[in-house]
Structure formats: structure tokens, C-alpha cells
Structure 1
Amino acid sequence: MRISVYVPFLVSALLTLPAPRLARRLAPRPAAWALACVALVTAAGWTGSLALLAFTGVAQIPQVAAEGHWSVRALRAEDPVHLTVAAGGALLLAVSLVLLAVTAVRHVRQVAGARRECARLPGDTELAVLDDDAPLAFALAGAPGRIVVSRGMLRCLDDDERGALLAHERAHLHAGHHHFQTLWRLTAAVNPLLRPLADAGAFVLERWADEEAAARVGDRTVVARAVGRAALAAAGVSRPSVLAATGGVVPQRVRALLAPPPTRRTLPFVAGALLLTLCSVSLVDAASDSDEMVDSAKRVRCAAHDAATGPTAVTTDHRHRRHDFCRGYRDRDEHQGPHA
């Protein structure tokens, strides 16, 4: 656990720092899935490493060691993690879990609010047109989701641009982009290094919807024009925190639509996959080292107990549980070997 426990932190930095810039240059659909995998694996690695660091400190508390039947002295001799580092890991883990809980509660409230909004919208079809002069257009996830467009927005666009706008919002709903947003928000709450990645993910989702709309309409210029006009019309208008055609960095989206469709590149995905594999393997290796360290400390404790009472002694005092545990541990070693 000397090095492997820190590898997930390094991988988080190596992946999350260049990932936002790379994601903007790659095909949006695979880029979104790649960002989701990066967020999930690095958040799990971050949390697991912090938990292992925290355990090395908690395990050295005498009361905890007594309940676990291991030797504190042997644990300190085998574990290279300083108590200050372990305490820092425990503090960061606690903060991460609290932020995760707060973010999850907020998300549940937002989902409940979205469902209430869907229930209040006029009509029962996928498209809901609001009698409002303010230019609004967004996808509202719910059960089922709805596409919300105001009359003010429809008046700003011609027929072709309206079709492109609706195709964009429909792509958000049908591809389940709100699930990607949820994953990035939760993982960014756990691992602060993932916050830039979550911002890049929002842009990638808009680009994904742009490309889906262009494929459905058959004219990238029309979609670019619809995105640009919708963004200009909605400038300065407050809108709910939802997926909208006017979201993201609009000039970059328009330039991408006016250019040829993006080509798929394999090298960034292969490099990212290798780093994610390294993160997972390192975490498993650190967990295995921690388990072996505790096993060794338990054997030292049992050896000291046997030296004091004898391996077959029968105790009737408060050490009875420890005696039974050591006897079971010896029986396991006899059948499976000392490192089973």
C-alpha cells in the first residue's frame, strides 16, 4: 500500500486536467461516455483510497484494535502511512461523503420539482408550448419528459429552424442526457478535481444534441442558424437549470456545426482506458495490501496471546472471545496456509 494507494489521486489529476479540452475536440457522443467513465472510476478510486488511508489511522486506535483482535504495534510497524496522512484522508473522506449527501438531496428535490412541472404543463404530448413572450426552449426530464418551448421563441425562428430546435431538445430526452448530468454532479461532489470535467460534460451534451439534430434535419447550417438565433433571442433571459439549446459555449457550437462532422479518434480513448485500468488495479492492490497487513497484525496478537496463556488454554474471563478468535485463526491457517 506504500505507492498503490496514492495512484488513484495521480490518475485523477492526469485524466481530469486534459479531459475537458480533449472532450471539446472529439466526437460528442463517445466523448460523453468517456467523461462518464472517467468520472465514475476516478471518483470510486478517490473514495477508496481515502477510505484505505483513513482505515490505517482508525485501526491504530486501541479500542478498535481490541475489537478487531490485531496488534497495534505490529500494524504501526507494517503500515508506512503516517498518522497525519491518515487523519487527513479521514477528514477528506468525511467532507466528500457530506458533499455527496447534500448534492444527492438537492438532485432528488430537482427531480421531484421537474416531475411536478411536467404535470402542470398544458396538454399530454411530448411538446408543450407556453403562452409566454420570453424566448424559452428546454428539455424537462420527467415521467415522461417534455419539450418546453415558448411562443416567444417560436416567433424568433423560421419553420426549418423550429424543426432543428425541436430535434435538438428531443435528442436530449431520448438519449437520457439528464442521467449524464446527474453522474457528473455527484462525482464532482465526491472528488473536487472532477468539477472542470462536469462543466466540459455539459458542453459535450449540447454538442451531442446538435449533431443528432443535424443528422435528423439533414442540414448542419440550419441547426447552426437555429442555435445562434435561439441564443441571441434568449440572451439575458433567466431559465431553469435544465438542458437547453441555448446552453454551453454557443460560438464554439456554431463553429463545430459549420465544419464537417467530427471524426472518431481512438488514441485518446485508449490512453484514458489504460489510465482507468491502472487506477482500478492500484486500488485493488492497495486493498489487498491492507488486508494482508491486518492479517499479519492479527497473527502477532494471537502469537502473543498464545505465549501468555498457551494455545489450548481455556479462559473464562473477558479474554474468552480473544481466545476463541485466535483458535479459529490457527485452524484456518492450518487448513489454508498462513497467507490465505
Structure 2
Amino acid sequence: MRIAVYVPLLLSLLAPLGARPVSERCEPRLATWLLTASSLILGAASMISLGLLAVTGLIRIPLLAHLGHWSASSAQHTDPAQLSVALIAGLLLGGAAIAAARMLWRRVRTLAAAAMDAACMPTRDGLVVMEDEAPDAYALPGLPGRVVISTGMLHVLDDTENEILLAHERAHLSAHHYAFVALTQLGAAANPLLRPLATAVTYTIERWADENAATAAGDRMRVARTVGKAALAAHRAPALARVAGAALGILGRRGPLASAGPVPRRVAALLAPPLGRHPALTAATAAILTAATLATAEAAHDLHLLLRTVGAWQ
């Protein structure tokens, strides 16, 4: 436990360094899955590590040690962590738990509100046209979801470009991109070091939808032109108010992590050949997550042995 318990925390420092390479070099769908899994696993592993360290401090408290049938005096001699480390870990764990719970509650409320709003919108084939001259388009999660487009956006784009826009927004709904954003933000709430991963996912889901639109249109250059044209039009006029924070749009400007998906990077990616799976980055991500999981399991086992030892010395 002396080393293993700190491994997830150290890996959380290294993981953000790989967020940009994964988002830029891996196929967008794979990149989204890798980043989401990394945020969740490392977020959970770091919280467990903090919990294990906090327990080593709790067993030194005589009252708690008595309830667990442990020897507080022997715990002071055999405990691998300093009391100050255990106390700091406990405070960090409390803060992480509160932040994660608040994030989860907000996301559940937001998605529920989005689903209710989507259910109340009159639609044909899942498309809702809003009377607004400000160019905008976004996907609203629901059962089923809705694609919302302003009349201003319909006027800016031609028929082919509007079909590309629809394909992009429908990709957000069919692939449940809002869930990937919510899960990575949950991991980042539990461990703020992982925020670059959540930021990267808000970019990769846009790239994922762009690639779906390119496949449907059969013309990557036309999709790149549509993305740039829609973004330029929206920049000139204020967009219509969002129905809910769960909305995802072709402009890639949804939520507090909006700076993750700059349009120029997406346009450049569409003008280049499609990305591959990049086995090296995939293997490196898998190795990091495996190391974090095994280290957490090893630390938990070591704590179990510690508790048995201080229990035997009572």
C-alpha cells in the first residue's frame, strides 16, 4: 500500500498530457471512448485511493478503532501513511465526493429537463424549426430527442448544407454524445486533474458527428465548408437561448467547457484523410487504465491485511 495507493493519483497527473494527442490523432469515436473511460476509471481510482489513505487515519482514533475491534496503538506503528497525509486525503475525498454528487445531480436535472422540453416540442421526423433570425442548430436529448434549427440557419445554408447539418445533429442523438460529456465531467468533478480529458471529449464528439456527416454526404470538403460557414454565421449574430445545458450543436459551443472544440481544428481534420485507430495511443491508454485498476486493487488488499494485523494485535 505504501506505493500502490499513490499510483492512481500519479497517473491522474500524467493522463491529461495524453488528452490532446488522443483527441487529435485517434479516430473520433475511439478517442471519445478512450477519454471517457480514462476519466471515469481514473476518477474512481483516485477517490478510492484517497479513501484508503483516509481509513489509515481513522483507525488511529481510539473510539473508531474500538468499534472495528482494532488496536489504535498498533495502528500508529504499522500504518504506512503519515497521519497528516491521511487527514489531507480525507479532506480531499470529502471535497471530491461533494463535487461529484453535485455534478451528477445537475446533469440528471439537466437531462430530465431536456427530455421534458423535447417531448413538448411539436416535430416532424424529429426536426424542430424555431422562428429566430439568429443562425443556430443543436440536438436536444430526449425520448426521443429533437434536432432544433433556427430559421436563420436554414436561410444561411443551402439545401445540401442543411442536410449535412441535420446529419451532424442526428449523430449527436443517435450516439448519445451527451452521455459521454456527462460521464467525463463526472470524472473531472471527482478529480479536477482530469478536466483536460473532459474538455477533449467536447471536441471529439463534435469530430465524431462531423465524420458521420461526411460519411452521409460523401464529401468531406463540403462538410468542412458547412461547419465553417455555420460557425461564421453564428459569430455574426447572437444565438438563440438554449432550452437546456444538455444541448449539443454543430458549433461546438455547449456548456462550461466550450473552448474544447475550436472550429478551425475540425475543418482542418475534415480536409485531411480520415484518422485511424492509432494502436500505440490505444495501447498506452489501456496500459494506464490497467495500471490504475491493479494498483487500486493492490492498495485495497494491503489495507485489508493492515486491518487484520491491527485487529490481531488488539
| Fold-level similarity (TM above 0.5) | yes
1:123 CA displacement:
2.5
Contact between 2:70 and 2:311, CA under 8 Å: does it hold in 1? yes
SS at match of 1:24: helix
What is the aligned partner in structure 2 of residue 250 from structure 1? 263
Report the Cα distance in structure 2 between the residues aligned to 1:292 and 1:119, rounded to whole angstroms: 54
Go from structure 1 to structure 2 and tell me whether the alpha carbon gap of 1:57 and 1:279 turns closer, same or farther (over 3 Å shift). same
Q: Which residue in the other structure is 2:312 paired with?
A: 299
Q: 1:114-163 CA distances to partner (integer Å, 9 max, x unpaired)?
A: 12321332235311111221111000001111111111101100111111
| 3-state SS, counterpart of residue 262 of structure 1 | coil
**Identity over aligned residues, as a percent?**
46
Question: Normalising by the residue count of structure 1, what TM-score does the alignment of the two structures yield?
Answer: 0.86
1:68-117 Cα deviation digits (max 9, x unpaired): 11111211211120110000000000000111111112112211221232
More off after superposition, 230-239 vs 266-275: 230-239
Are positions 1:288 and 2:293 aligned together? no
- State yes or no: 1:133 paired with 2:133: yes
The match for 1:278 is 291
Contact 1:139–1:147 (CA under 8 A) maintained in structure 2: yes
Q: What's the secondary structure of 2:215's corresponding residue?
A: helix
CA deviations on 1:220-276 (whole Å, 9 max, x unpaired) are: 011111111111111152453321101121011011111111122101111111111
1:36-75 paired onto structure 2 within 5 Å: 36-75=36-75
Contact 2:69 2:311 in 1 (8 A): yes
Q: Distance in 1 between matches of 2:277 and 2:299?
A: 35
AA at the equivalent of 1:261: P
Greater RCO between the two (CA within 8 Å, min separation 6)?
2
1:179 is paired with a residue whose SS is helix
Where structure 1 has 5 or more consecutive residues not aligned to the other structure, the ranges are 302-340
Rounded Cα–Cα distance in structure 2 between residues aligned with 1:17 and 1:255: 22
Residues 55 and 86 in structure 2, CA contact (< 8 A), matched pair in contact too: yes
Q: Which residue of 2 aligns with 1:91?
A: 91
> Secondary structure of 2:273's match?
coil
Tell me the equivalent position of 2:155: 155
Q: Give me the whole-angstrom Cα distance separating, in 2, the residues matched to 1:67 and 1:232.
A: 65
In the alignment, is the contact (CA less than 8 A) between 1:51 and 1:93 conserved in 2? yes
CA distances 1:179-200 after superposition (whole Å, capped 9, x unpaired): 1011011111100011111111
Q: Residue in 2 aligned with 1:338? A: none
Structure 2 residue aligned with 1:307: none
Q: Secondary structure at the match of 1:263?
A: coil
Match runs of 1:138-287 below 5 Å:
138-235=138-235, 236-238=237-239, 239-240=241-242, 241=245, 242-247=247-252, 248-287=261-300
Secondary structure of 1:70's aligned partner: coil
Q: Tell me the CA shift for residue 24 of structure 1.
A: 1.8
Question: What runs of 5+ residues in structure 2 fail to find an aligned partner?
Answer: 253-260
8 Å Cα contact 1:24/1:200 also seen in 2: no
Residue identity in the other structure for 1:282: A
Distance 2:221 2:162 in 1: 13
How many Å separate the matches in 1 of 2:108 and 2:19?
28
SS in 1 for 2:125: coil
Q: What per-residue deviation string (whole Å, max 9, x for no partner) do you get for residues 14-46 of structure 1?
A: 222222333222211100010011111101110
**After the TM superposition, which residues 7-46 of structure 1 pair with which residues of structure 2 at under 5 Å, given as runs?**
7-46=7-46
Q: Is the 8 A contact 2:40 2:186 kept in 1?
A: no
Aligned-residue CA RMSD in angstroms?
1.2
Q: Determine the structure 2 residue equivalent to 1:314.
A: none
Offset at residue 297 of structure 1 (A) = 0.8
- The residue matched to 1:17 in structure 2 has which SS? helix
| Aligned equivalent of 2:255 | none
2: CA distance between counterparts of 1:213 and 1:144? Answer: 20
Q: Partners of 2:97 and 2:230 in 1: how far apart?
A: 39
CA distance in 2 between partners of 1:123 and 1:18 (Å): 42
Q: How far apart, in 2, do the equivalents of 1:277 and 1:115 lie?
A: 36
CA distance in 1, matches of 2:186, 2:120: 28
CA drift of 1:13 comes to 1.4
